[in-house]
Structure 1
Amino acid sequence: MFNVTAIIAEEHIRKAQNEGKFDDLDGMGRPLKPDEAANLPPELRMAYRILKSSGHLPAEILEEKEITCAIDLLEHMEDEQERYRQVQKLNIMIMQMNERRRRPVTLDASSDYYRRIVEKVRIAEERFGKPEKKHN
């Protein structure tokens, strides 16, 4: 059985290819970005994409972006006291996120997010030295 819609779509694609409309596309030759909605249940993916494209993101995603931003700030901070305050702020943000999620934020060693945090901490330690441990 022939699907008329599929046949029409294929014809449009072939026509566009022949006209060179797929040549020099933005990002051509580079891998696609990972789908941020891949871990969501299938019935929520479309809603997530619509909200994201309209500029609205779930609170969890916004919190994670804020934490990432705080980590980025730490990397460039030279004032040790301000750096300490930012670390305290970061700890509070993570603690609040854990409480809202009712589960800890786990940083899987194989995740890209984990690798970025470890790299930023390494850079900060190289730049500012390792923090001294306080003995009670």
Structure 2
Amino acid sequence: MPSIYDILAEQRIADALRRGEFDNLPGAGKPLVLDDELFVSPEQRMANKVLRNAGFSPPEVGLRKEIAKLRAEIGELEDGERRSALRRRLAMLIVQLGEIARSGH
């Protein structure tokens, strides 16, 4: 349940939108640049950027993508051998992801 502060904030934002106070702001219509590495040193941030630009990513990123793909594929299949095989593969990938998370790598 939203607090009174949440309700007041939403109401003020809606009022400002109606008055056009958010029109013509700098950067309007452009994608937001979100820095998800706020607590990483500038040196490590640069190293991460170089690796990302070179197409490298941590193993868990690939695992998460494969897990999402398998879940979507399983959702489209009816019960059967293929669905069972994919579910076993999915379970294995989830275990691997958990091991990576526990090890901190």
The alignment's TM-score, normalised by the length of structure 2, stands at 0.53
Query: Tell me, which stretches of 5 or more residues in structure 1 are unaligned?
Result: 1-27, 104-136
Match of 2:40 in 1: 42
* Runs of 4+ more than 6 Å apart: none
Partner deviation per Cα, 1:9-43 (whole Å, 9 max, x = no partner): xxxxxxxxxxxxxxxxxxx72643755xx157422
Helix, strand or coil: the match of 1:62? helix
Letter in 2 for 1:56: F
TM-score of the two chains, using structure 1 as the length reference:
0.43
| Contact residue 60 and residue 100 of structure 2 kept, 8 A | no
After superposition, give the CA deviation of every residue in 1:54-75 in whole Å (9 maximum; x if it has no partner).
1111112111111112112223
Equivalent position of 2:82 in the other structure: 82
Name the CA shift for 1:33/1:99 in 2 (closer, same or farther; >3 Å).
same
- Tell me the residue number matched to 2:16: none
After superposition, residues 84-123 of structure 1 pair within 5 angstroms as 84-102=84-102
| SS of the residue 2:68 aligns to | helix
The amino acid across from 1:58 in the alignment is P
Does the 8 A contact of 2:74 with 2:86 survive in 1? yes
Describe the superposition over 1:104-133 as per-residue Cα deviations: whole angstroms up to 9, x where unpaired: xxxxxxxxxxxxxxxxxxxxxxxxxxxxxx
Residue-pair matches, total: 74
Aligned-pair CA distance for 1:102? 1.7
Match of 2:24 in 1: none
d(CA) in 2 for partners of 1:101, 1:40: 20
Coordinate RMSD, CA, aligned: 2.7
Letter in 2 for 1:69: K
Q: Cα distance 1:82–1:34, how it changes in 2: closer, same or farther (>3 A)?
A: farther
1:97: Cα distance to partner? 1.7
Percent identity of equivalent pairs: 31
Structure 1 pair 65/33, CA: closer, same or farther in 2 (3 Å)?
farther
